[in-house]
Amino acid sequence: MIVEKTKLNDLLLIKPKLYNDDRGFFYVSWNSAELEGFIGKKNLFVQDNHSKSNKNVLRGLHYQIKYPQGKLVRTTYGSVFDVVVDLRKNSSTFGKTFEIELSAKNKYQLWIPPGFAHGFLVLSKYAEFQYKTTNLYKPEYEKTIIWNDKILNINWPLEKKFPILSDKDKKGLNFEESEYF
């Protein structure tokens, strides 16, 4: 794995070492010892999640204040515009965003430590998105920041004026009204 620091503190971009031949490809998508070495602490994943979403679906920006989750995220089919927001008040990158395309083609992953909000917009006909979490999903503690918050000013690459949103995501709070870590 090739691990690169991003412009947000502690957020890591992971690029696989691909082995291609006439049969297809192979790569290691997760190795506990390597990841622990990169983040500097033991990281125990407790849940794997897998979603399928259609084009123009936007999920997020989600986080859990109580039972915060670290996430190792990737797209295994199609492509998404992935967004991460640093919500840690003591971080020098508090309130900053990081955006990147994650796709089945580039096979990039992000290590998102606890203390960040996360969301994505599906760019392809549909996308399958998978991620490991360091804490269980607790819907009663999930928080949502509205996707079009004026302070965050995320430049979502929308083909239509509005994305397809869940009822929960339509009711997200503005950044300045949200809870932080």
Instruction: List, by residue number, the catalytic residues.
Output: 62, 131
Angle at 26 between CA 22 and CA 29, to 5 degrees: 160
Residue 105: half-sphere exposure toward Cβ, Cα within 13 Å? 6
Query: CA-CA distance, 139 to 128, in Å (whole number)?
Result: 21
Query: CA-CA distance, 119 to 97, in Å (whole number)?
Result: 11
* Dihedral pair phi/psi, residue 158, rounded to 5°: -80, 140
